[in-house]
Structures are given as C-alpha cells and as structure tokens.
Structure 1
Amino acid sequence: MSLKKIKVLCVDDSALIRSLMTEIINSQPDMTVVATASDPLVARDLVKQHNPDVMTLDVEMPRMDGLEFLEKLMRLRPMPVVMVSSLTERGSEAALRALELGAIDFVTKPRLGIRDGLLSYTDLIAGKIRIAAAARLLPAKRPASGVGAPAVVDAPMLRSPLLSTEKLIIIGASTGGTEAIREVLQPLPPDSPGILIAQHMPAGFTHSFAQRLNGLCRIVVSEAVHGERILPGHAYIAPGGFHLSLTRSGANYVAHVDQEAPVNRHRPSIDVLFDSAAKHAGKNAIGVILTGMGRDGAEGLLRMRQAGAHTLAQDEASCVVFGMPREAIAIGGASEVAPLPEISQRVMAHLTSFGERANRV
C-alpha cells in the first residue's frame, strides 16, 4: 500500500531557498513539493491548481507581503501554513503576527551559511510540516488589537492580597500556543497571582512575544530574568533556549533561568517548569496545559496534581494540536478539561472558591 504523501507548496522570492526547501522536503518519505512560487500572486494560482496540504511561506516578498497574502488566504481558502522568517526583531514580530493570522508555526532562516544552515534544519522543517498537515484549522479570528478587535470580557478583580501573593498560575504550551496564551492572559485582572509560562519557542522570539502580550493585557508580561522575584499581576515567559523553573527564597517565589540540557527535546521544557511548581508551590499552584504536539508537560502536570495543585487541560475542539493535553488527560494529570475561551474563567473561579473556603476556616 503506497503512502499518501503530504503535498507542499513552497513560496519564497529566493531561488536558493526554494531549491533548498524542495531538497529538504523531497528527501522525506512522507512529503513532496508539488510546486514552488516566487511570490504570492504566482502562489495563488498554484494553490488552485495543486490543492496542497501545507504551504511554506516567506514573510518578506515583492508584489505582496507574506502577511498580507496569509490574511487573504486564511479568509478565502484556509490551509495549514508554516512561515519562513528571518531571525531579526522585525522578523520575530512578523512571525508572531502570522501566528495571530492563523499560521500553524514558523521556521527561522539561518543568518550565515544559508545552504548548510537550512539543510541542518531538515528534521525541524519536516517535523513542522507534519504537524501542520495534522493540525486543526480553527475559525479565523479578528485581530488581537486595533480596529475590529473582539471585546475581551475581563475577569473580576480578586481583591484578596493573600490569593495574589500565595497562589501561582503555571502555563505550558507548544504549537498554537502563542494565541492560546494570549487568550488565557488577556482577561486576567491586574491583581492576579504571578504567572510562569513555558512556550516552546526559539531564542530571539520570546522578547517580542512578551512585548506583544504586555501591550494587550492588564497584567505586566515580560521575559523571565534569573533570580527575579515573582510578583502578583506579572507574567514571566521562559526565554527561548532557556529553561524556566520556580524556586523559593524565604517566603518569596523566585525565577530560576538556566541552559541545562533539553528535556523531552525541548528547552524551555514544560516538564521542568511544572516539576518545580509541584516541588515549591504544591497546592498553591494552578497548572494549565495548552495546545501542542508531543507529551512535554504531561508528567509534570500529573506531579503538580499529586502535589495538591488544581490542574486544567485545554479540550480537543479548541486545540490546534491536541497532543500535550491529550497525554496529560490520559495519565490523569488534569483536574478538569475546558475549552480555551473558558480557561481564564475557570482559573479565576478556582481562586475565588479557594479564597471563600479559606475565609470560612
């Protein structure tokens, strides 16, 4: 029985990149390049002709910008897209905007030695294309900010200093996670407990991600810095290429950032963060596992639950990729399963009920 190959359309204005992407993809037994395009206007006709399963799309191109094309594509002919972005500040902002518009993931172009550099990404590129081909295309969303932005129903204030300082919210995500994290954080009140986040993301992108969220949320969002105190009303994102874990210094929660070996092939690893929360926060933590491929975070969420934490997993219908939540649910790591739009409400409801129980004691 012949294997049905993933049909890929590569769109890039560089003939060298198109050639290298074709070489990489065609070297895989389960995928093939059905066509290449030098710009989006050519790509538009090739989509109709070849009906590809996945598109790889450059950001900066002549005649039509990749983001403009992506926005039109997701409105008129939604399909899984993997962006190919330069590792620059502008490139990282464009990649995050692409994820907001509906792209499944992105790959960074190497700065030097582009042929050897890109070929060294063969497994990464092939893996992202496989994930994209299997990913769930969620309904197109309006922009997170600006004209046409959806109204965000803000969660009510906690008005309890004890809840804000003693409790922590710990979040892990991978593919599809940048938008899922935004949807969880945006409604949270400025007096919410401190939040630690591990999102699978390469170095150079988490700073832009944190800045973007900081401009959209009522809480303060930043990249985590080693040794800083975890404060209420703040969210701390693991820097790309670094593990983030929780430690204590006396009565204070403190961020620990390091470059120890990858765990589950990831750095940052969600399991590293969740395990540290189980150890140092126990029942005072709330664990949340969001969309993503693989099983990073599943065991850690279970250990958090065993340590007394309340734990949530995103449900299948609202996930881009249901891998990590599925694994966590299967081993009993989730206290409850919820659709993405309800997760921030469920977190706040748990905090409120915990506060009411504490007041009755």
Structure 2
Amino acid sequence: MSTPTVQHTDKSVFQIPQRRMGRNERSVRMLLASAGVGVEGKQAFDLDVHDSRFYRRILQQGSLGMGESYMDGWWDCSSIDSLTTRLLQANLDEILRHNPQFWLQVLRTRLFNLQSSHRAYQVADMHYNLGNDLFVMMLDSRMCYSCGYWKDASDLEQAQLNKLDLLCRKLALQPGEQVLDIGCGWGSFAQYAASHHGVKVTGVTVSREQQVLAEERCRGLPVDIRLQDYRDIMGQFDKVVSVGMFEHVGLKNYTAYFSMVQRVLKPDGVFVLHTIATDRQVEATDPWIERYIFPNGKLPTLAQIAWACEPHFVVEDVQNFGTDYDTTLLAWQQRFSVAWPELQQRYTARFRRMWEYYLLTCAGAFRSRQLQLFQLVLRQRNRQRQRYDAPR
C-alpha cells in the first residue's frame, strides 16, 4: 500500500515522513502547506516539531497554542520572523482565530473596559517592570522602546536618534516651551528634547521602574517624571507628544484620551502621536500577546484614530514607516541574544523563548504589513494657524 502524500508545488519544502499521520497533524500540515511552510523541511521558515501534541494544540488554541507550545519547546524554527510573515500573508491567523481562546477575548473586550483607570498599571507590572537590566541591554543607549526611523541610518543607535530628531522637528520645539510626554518610558524623548531644544518636559508613566531610571537619566535637566495615569494629567502645555503609549488606551477610552489632550494643549499647540496600528479592525488582541506581553493592550486602526480625534483636532500630517519596525525589532533581538549569557542569571530559559518569540513574531507581522507605525501631527480645531509642512 502506498504512503499517503500531500501535493505541494515545491516538494523540497514540504514532505511527509514515512509514517501514519493522525487527523490533527494532517490538518495542520495542510494549513501550513497553503502558506508554503513545511515540517522538517530545509527552508529557514519550516518547522521542526518535537512533540506531536503540537498539532492538536494549534487547532484548539490558535495563536495562543502556537506561542505557548514554542515556549514549552514543542517546536523550533530557524527564522520565526519569516515563518510569521508567511502565515499572516496566507491569512492563517484568521483561519485559526475561530477557537474558544480568541472568542473569549472578544467577549471580554465587548463586555469590559480592559483599559480602565484601575487596570492602567497592570501592563507595567507584567511588562515594563520586568527589570531595567533587560531593557538597558536590549535597547539603544537612549533607551527608546519604540520604532526607530531608519532613513539614512545603518544601526539602531542612529535610527533612534533620527526618530527623536524627527519628533522634535514635527513639534517645532522652541526654547522655554512646556512639553508633555504621555507614556515617557525611560525618558529618552524628555532627555533629548530638554538637552537639544531647551524645553521643559513633563513625562508621565505607569511604570515605577521606568520612573526611577528616567529621573536618574534626566537629572540636572528641566524634566519632571511622574508616576501617573493619563486621565489624571493637569496643566497647560505648548506641545504634547505620545510615543508608543496609545496602544494601551483602548477604543472605549479614545474620547477621554483626546479630550484630555485638547484640555491641556494650548490653543496654538501641536500634538504628535506615534503609535502602532493594524491594517484592519480586529475585535480583540491576539490572545498570546494579551497573556504574556501586553495585557489589556489594543491596537487601533488609522480610521479609528481619525474618528476619535475628529471632534478635537485637525490632522495636519500622517506618516507611515511601519517597515522600519521590522528592522528595529530584529536589532533588539540581536542585542537580547548577545546579552543572554548575562541575563540568564535572572531570567529562565522559558522566558528567553517567550521574549524571542515576541520580538520575532512582531517583526514578521510588520514585514507582512499587517502592522503599521503611524506618526500623526494634530492641531486644535477652530484656530487660525499657519500652513504646516511636516518634516521627513
């Protein structure tokens, strides 16, 4: 009796071993084959499956099962970023989305405000407070934990310097201005803007670890770092910037967010919003990302941002350089890998697989163009203002 085979255009990529397969394995192999991905193949994006329970787990749990089974060592891949790109471009994420884990997340998103004020600090507890040693070793010297701008840059250091310079030019900073930095991280923008443009910066973060290190790095500069939820911000500012924080606001809170910015921004001020976005609306956050990386996070679409800010602001400029996040994430992954011999004294091997999976799958998602990176320049409505020509 002949061994059953699955037809594929490139037999070197996908081959069935000489053994009997179960229904779950056969189904998963066929799904992978539709994306040109094989098992035990020779391509860098092929999977090496070490535990046959992997197949059932994928069908039952989708992306959550994919990520957790990698953390558990059930499979490996030489190029997880390339694998992710192929799976997303073949829309396998949508096919595997129809599982209880995803629909439970959809239900939670519909019923609850997952980004309410009493939940605001949860992402810091799980992610941003992991340990400053991890982020110091993974990020550039200024500790920018957001997409670098790789135009005319050949390394991470220059790309992040370019990004900070671009933000300052879009804000048109002037000496002595009061600037609000919503989600200031470890103070990279605050330190740069105060040092190079002579402005006074108020930064807010929900992470105590970030606040402590940001205060240390900005010592001697006119910078005030506050442990504070954005809903509690008071005062008046000439300029407002938010870099990589809007992803934690959530659709139910967009009106409150933009209302707050309008309230604290002076009439002729400028607001620059830098955020990751999805190419189309998805009801819930990926269950694996939600559980292990960014709890209560929710990526917007450009349409949702435009709808939410319309009553408050005019959109002067939109720039998309999402492909630069692919390069940024790979640079972080390389630095993390080099630093691992020292980091492993504090972090487990399972954490290493989790963190690598996070960085590489996100790189693949940006490469597939499912994820974007937008910078928007916003100014208040009903104000006389001069023509704005956004720098690049």
TM-score, reference length from structure 1: 0.37
TM-score, reference length from structure 2: 0.34
Larger helix percent: 2
Larger strand percent: 1
Larger radius of gyration: 2
